[in-house]
């Protein structure tokens, strides 16, 4: 497809594509950006368009995929548009005294839950909980990764059962 053919086809569909972009984004500026990005990508890959096929479908697919990719990127990026200074109040609240008693009680509960769990399951689970990756745990314990995953899964299941049993017992009292 030549530059002239592409421009002619695109110009005929521009208002429809803008409406589609507006429906996807629900924002005029984002729709304009999406339309522009779609035009750029389609123009860069115009050699992949097969003559005789539906240009509208081809470019609409490019727009939809571009929107999806941008959405996924934005979802992964958790941005804060406010300057950091506006959040310092949360860090500088000196009037609050930390309540370590509640933390200590919770840690005692966790220790009690882990006491009944054998080291076979507790060690891989605690290592995973502390941020080790499966392969690091496997290397440290000299066991296969599948065994590590299995033991962590079983430990989770046992701990979940104990927590549920404890809540049921507390609800009966």
CATH number at residue 142: 1.10.10.10
Q: Are 9 and 52 contained in the same domain?
A: yes
- Indicate whether 145 belongs to any domain: yes
Could you give the percent of the chain with pLDDT greater than 90?
Answer: 15
Residue 84 pLDDT exceeds 60: no
Output the pLDDT for position 51: 81
Total tally of structural domains belonging to the chain:
2
Indicate yes or no: pTM above 0.85.
Answer: no
**Residue 42 and residue 48: Cα distance in Å, rounded?**
9
| Alpha-carbon gap, residue 100 to 155, rounded angstroms | 27
Per-residue pLDDT, averaged over 45-58, amounts to: 84
Q: What are the angstrom distances between the C-alpha of 77 and each of 25, 71, 81?
A: 18, 10, 12
Distance CA(49)–CA(53), nearest Å, equals: 8
- Kindly report the average pLDDT of the chain as a whole number: 82
Q: Which domain holds residue 131?
A: 100-172
Rounded to the nearest angstrom, the gap between the alpha carbon of residue 19 and the centroid of all alpha carbons in its chain is: 29
> Nearest-CA neighbor of 37 among 1, 68, 75, 66?
66
How far is 7 from 48, CA to CA, in rounded Å?
Answer: 15
State how far Cα 151 lies from the chain centre: 25
Does 87 reside within a domain? Answer: no
Same domain, 72 and 106: no
């Amino acid at each position: 497809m030549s530059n002239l053919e592409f421009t002619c086809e695109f110009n005929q569909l521009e208002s429809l594509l803008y409406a589609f972009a507006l429906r996807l984004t629900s924002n005029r500026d984002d729709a304009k950006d999406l339309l522009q990005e779609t035009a750029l990508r389609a123009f860069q890959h115009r050699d992949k368009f097969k003559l005789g096929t539906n240009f509208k479908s081809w470019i609409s697919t490019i727009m939809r995929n571009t929107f999806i990719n941008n959405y996924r990127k934005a979802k992964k990026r958790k941005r804060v548009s406010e300057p950091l200074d506006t959040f310092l109040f949360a860090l500088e609240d000196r009037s609050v005294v930390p309540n370590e008693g509640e933390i200590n009680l919770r840690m005692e509960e966790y220790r009690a839950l882990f006491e009944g769990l054998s080291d076979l399951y507790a060690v891989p689970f605690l290592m995973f909980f502390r941020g080790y990756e499966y392969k690091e745990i496997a290397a440290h314990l000299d066991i296969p990764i599948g065994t590590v995953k299995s033991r962590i899964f079983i430990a989770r299941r046992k701990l979940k059962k104990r927590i549920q049993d404890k809540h049921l017992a507390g609800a009966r009292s």
